[in-house]
Structure 1
Amino acid sequence: MGLEENGSLKVPDDVGNGAPASWYNGSPTPGERGPSVILGHVNALGGHKGVFADLRKLRPGAEINVSRADGSTAVFTVDHGTLYSKNEFPTLEVYGNTAGAELRLITCDGYDPATGLFDDNYVIYAKLKA
């Protein structure tokens, strides 16, 4: 997916099961040098869990397998996860160039029942293993 007219990242349409996750096409493909960005929902329509509902459970050292269009799999190792306020999102830190192939998994967090909106984003940082 690409960008909205206001410059924000498009998010995948929830087809009722909180899926799919989607790759931001302005970032490197998973396994290429730089931070590949994949977005996914934390929850889904009808009270279901989103594809990234359990993102906060990933711990350093966990492996993430990303299927690539060419049929290969890029394997990443989780470095850390960080919670950011949407109002203070560190764009350069998350999307900026990296020396090697890295992965960023991004979802919403910090649901505010008063507004019905998510105030934060949770980001997993991972590095290519194989």
Structure 2
Amino acid sequence: MDLDLALRDDSPPPLTYQSTSDEKRNNERWERSNCLCLMIIKKAIPEAFKRTMSKTMVTVKEFLQDIEKKFVKNEKTEVNTPLTRLISMKYSGKGNIREYIMEISHLASKLNALKLKLSEELLVHLILISLPTQFS
């Protein structure tokens, strides 16, 4: 059974009186696949999300695109978490200073991957001000 046929192929053209038996068979297979995919997906998603979905979705591809629109990544939110953590970090005096600095470096590389580049001078400054006064 081609359960994923509706995900792989676009909707076939509407049937006409001149449609061949192969076209009719392919259309029926696609319709069955589309219906099954929609039922499976709708059964699997939580009820809270079902209420936000449009009722006019005809194809599984449209349904998945609608879901994708609702869960578009917000880059500002992705940057906010590591940046807030980086700025608010304070060395407690427990543990290895090298590991603490490596953790700061790791956060900086995450921010760099999110296209927020921090200079080495700024990182050094953030590290120095996060250390207790006896270390700086």
TM-score band (shorter)?
under 0.3
Q: Which has the higher contact order (CA 8 A, sep 6+)?
A: 1
Larger of the two Rg values belongs to structure: 2
Q: TM-score, normalised by structure 2?
A: 0.22
Name the structure with the higher helix share: 2
Which protein has the bigger strand share? 1
